[in-house]
């Protein structure tokens, strides 16, 4: 296969929080893989910055260990050494002056400079202000910020304001790592690269849409953060919202950052407030051998949800009357992310009711086995009259594309390279994040006002019983959670 890797321009990437969990698990191993793929030019430099005291050599040791621990395949000594030659470290006090002159002297004129804020949002303002004060916030500078981007609309606005004091919107890259997943981008390719689907992609032909992001892991180890967030803030406000936008949006005029983000924003703004009886919150219960959610977060009376299912409506011409059922949760029966577009029945069955009622379903599997299935109704083979059955037109991307499907960069790798290239298409704009919070806030406020308590569900199940009732009440059913 001919390599399609195009090296990016020379850059200095400064990672604030360079010794933290995200840097060690995702950012540094991701950069190493891009280096191996030939995408990092010779002149690229990575500078870790954090509070603890290390020299360059010690930090290279930390980075090497992180790559050995978190890269899927063990690194070879030669390439790893070459990569580490590009790595340096600056001890920095985000709230003081220590280290900033040193950092400023290391960031080179003429190279792209990217500053990754892999730290808590309470430091965003301090970092942005000092980058400016120490002369590093020039036109070639860009900053990368992680989720959670705020806790509600007010805090998200405050973060946007503080960043806007020192950087233009075009320099701010808000990460939602779901947008970096290959198959999530494929949603746009499927919708806007094929004639087949678009004419049917509306309330006239689509009965409903299901979006499921199910995880088998619990929240152990992240209890402090998670218990203040819950599934709504941790997954729905960002990742599921982004999936819904890509499914529901109008075709942008072109694949360019503002055209795409304008259309997503319109979807978020068209979301109706969700009725309380259209939401089911759940919390995984203890098993005889393992603790439940409340044990994991060490809060015996916690009312935070580790599961949520809801029925949403996008109030516009295309989608009026078509429900979007979305659900996500921890400790469910399988790890899977899937979007299913369930089409309506044919208007009239020429085969009579005894032939059976059948529906076309386009199921897009985002992870772990990327692919698409379109169920099509055919005649059941053999004698016995005209009986109908559904068969899947099944396409696993790994099978269809062979080795190319395996060479796909992980979400963080792709997104970091997009930062260097200066392409914001797969990053959230400030107004998008604010609109998402504006929709989320009243729902959470409602739970708080009602002292809403999530329903317990068994670990390894599909969530609480009430979630089943949410679709059953409408004469519909969730698709099975399976990987």
**What residues are labeled active site?**
239
- For the bound state, the minimum distance from the C-beta of residue 130 to ligand BG6, rounded and expressed in Å, comes to 27
> Of the two residues 25 and 358, which places its CB atom closer to ligand BG6 in the complex?
25
> Of the two residues 215 and 305, which places its CB atom closer to ligand BG6 in the complex?
215
73-80 long-range contacts (CB < 8 A, ≥24 apart) are: 75/32, 79/35, 79/36, 80/32
Q: Cα separation of 225 and 408, whole Å?
A: 31
Pick the binder of ligand BG6 from 12, 207, 215, 370 (CB under 6 A): 215
Of residues 291-330, those binding ligand BG6 (CB under 6 A): none
Q: Cα separation of 416 and 439, whole Å?
A: 29
For the CA atoms of 442, 448, 453, 458, what is the dihedral angle to 10 degrees?
Answer: 50
- For the bound state, the minimum distance from the C-beta of residue 215 to ligand BG6, rounded and expressed in Å, comes to 5
Reduce the DSSP state of residue 74 to 3 states and report it.
Answer: coil
Pairing of strands 141-145, 336-343: unpaired
Q: Residues 399, 373: contact at Cβ < 8 Å?
A: no
- For the bound state, the minimum distance from the C-beta of residue 219 to ligand BG6, rounded and expressed in Å, comes to 7
- For the bound state, the minimum distance from the C-beta of residue 98 to ligand BG6, rounded and expressed in Å, comes to 31
# residues contacting ligand BG6 (CB under 6 A)? 2
> Of the two residues 215 and 434, which places its CB atom closer to ligand BG6 in the complex?
215
Pick the binder of ligand BG6 from 234, 296, 418, 432 (CB under 6 A): 234
Distance of CA 179 to the CA centre of its chain: 5
- For the bound state, the minimum distance from the C-beta of residue 51 to ligand BG6, rounded and expressed in Å, comes to 24
- For the bound state, the minimum distance from the C-beta of residue 429 to ligand BG6, rounded and expressed in Å, comes to 19
Query: Quick one: DSSP state of residue 51?
Result: S
> Of the two residues 230 and 323, which places its CB atom closer to ligand BG6 in the complex?
230
Site string for ligand BG6, 169-198 (x = CB under 6 A): ------------------------------
- For the bound state, the minimum distance from the C-beta of residue 411 to ligand BG6, rounded and expressed in Å, comes to 7
> Of the two residues 171 and 306, which places its CB atom closer to ligand BG6 in the complex?
306
List CB contacts of 170: < 8 A, sequence separation 6 or more: 424
> Of the two residues 227 and 234, which places its CB atom closer to ligand BG6 in the complex?
234
Burial bucket for residue 288 (CB in 10 Å: 0-12, 13-18, 19+): exposed
Looking at the chain, the number of H-run helices and the number of E-run strands are 17, 15
- Give kind and range of the element (H or E) at residue 212: strand 206-214
- For the bound state, the minimum distance from the C-beta of residue 330 to ligand BG6, rounded and expressed in Å, comes to 7
For the CA atoms of 197, 198, 204, 205, what is the dihedral angle to 10 degrees?
Answer: 0
Residue for token pair 């059913």: 477
> Of the two residues 141 and 433, which places its CB atom closer to ligand BG6 in the complex?
433
Report if residue 146 touches ligand BG6, rule: CB under 6 A.
Answer: no
Q: Cα separation of 19 and 63, whole Å?
A: 8
Which residue number is nearest to ligand BG6 in terms of Cβ?
Answer: 234
Question: How many other C-beta atoms can be found within 10 angstroms of the C-beta atom of residue 299?
Answer: 14
> Of the two residues 232 and 310, which places its CB atom closer to ligand BG6 in the complex?
232
List CB contacts of 180: < 8 A, sequence separation 6 or more: 410, 411, 412, 413, 414, 415, 418, 426
- For the bound state, the minimum distance from the C-beta of residue 421 to ligand BG6, rounded and expressed in Å, comes to 22
Backbone angles phi, psi at 393, to 5 degrees: -85, 110
Q: Cα separation of 163 and 152, whole Å?
A: 17
Q: Is the peptide bond before 235 cis (omega within 30 degrees of 0)?
A: no
Q: Cα separation of 353 and 346, whole Å?
A: 12
> Of the two residues 26 and 208, which places its CB atom closer to ligand BG6 in the complex?
26
- Give kind and range of the element (H or E) at residue 301: none
Q: Which residues bind ligand BG6 (CB under 6 A)?
A: 215, 234
């Amino acid at each position: 296969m001919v390599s399609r890797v195009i090296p990016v321009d020379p850059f200095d990437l400064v990672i604030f929080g360079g010794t933290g969990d995200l840097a060690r698990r995702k950012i540094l191993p991701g950069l190493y893989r891009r280096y191996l793929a030939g995408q990092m030019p010779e002149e690229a430099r990575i500078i870790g910055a954090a509070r603890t005291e290390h020299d360059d050599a010690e930090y290279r040791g930390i980075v090497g260990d992180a790559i050995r621990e978190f890269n899927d395949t063990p690194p070879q000594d030669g390439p790893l050494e070459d990569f580490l030659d590009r790595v340096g470290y600056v001890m920095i006090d985000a709230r003081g002056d220590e280290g900033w002159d040193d950092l400023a002297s290391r960031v080179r004129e003429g190279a792209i400079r990217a500053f990754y804020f892999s730290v808590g949002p309470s430091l965003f303002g301090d970092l942005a202000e000092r980058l400016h004060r120490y002369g590093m916030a020039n036109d070639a500078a860009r900053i990368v910020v992680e989720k959670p981007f705020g806790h509600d609309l007010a805090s998200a606005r405050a973060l946007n304001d503080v960043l806007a004091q020192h950087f233009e919107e075009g320099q701010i890259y808000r990460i939602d790592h779901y947008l970096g997943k290959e198959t999530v981008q494929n949603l746009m390719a499927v919708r806007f690269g094929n004639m087949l689907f678009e004419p049917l992609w509306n309330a006239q032909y689509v009965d409903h849409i299901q979006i499921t992001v199910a995880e088998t892991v619990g929240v152990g180890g992240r209890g402090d953060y998670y218990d203040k967030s819950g599934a709504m803030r941790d997954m729905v406000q960002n990742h599921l919202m982004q999936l819904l936008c890509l499914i529901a949006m109008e075709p942008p005029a072109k694949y360019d950052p503002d055209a795409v983000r304008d259309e997503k924003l319109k979807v978020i703004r068209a979301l109706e407030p969700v009725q309380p009886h259209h939401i089911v919150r759940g919390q995984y219960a203890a098993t005889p051998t393992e603790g439940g959610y409340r044990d994991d977060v060490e809060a015996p009376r916690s009312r935070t949800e580790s599961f949520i299912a809801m029925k949403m409506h996008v109030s516009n011409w295309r989608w009026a009357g078509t429900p979007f059922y979305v659900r996500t949760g921890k400790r469910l029966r399988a790890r899977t992310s899937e979007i299913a577009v369930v089409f309506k029945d044919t208007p009239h069955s020429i085969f009579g009711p005894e032939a059976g009622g059948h529906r076309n379903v386009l199921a897009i599997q985002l992870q772990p086995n990327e692919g698409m299935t379109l169920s099509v109704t055919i005649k059941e083979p053999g004698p016995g009259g005209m009986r109908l059955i559904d068969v899947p037109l099944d396409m696993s991307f790994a099978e269809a594309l062979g080795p190319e499907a395996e060479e796909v960069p992980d979400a963080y790798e792709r997104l970091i390279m997009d930062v260097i290239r200066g392409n914001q298409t797969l990053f959230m704009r400030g107004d998008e994040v604010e609109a998402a919070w504006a929709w989320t806030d009243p729902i959470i406020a409602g739970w708080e006002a009602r002292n809403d308590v999530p329903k317990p569900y068994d670990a390894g199940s599909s969530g609480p019983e009430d979630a089943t009732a949410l679709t059953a009440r409408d004469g519909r059913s969730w698709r099975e959670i399976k990987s």
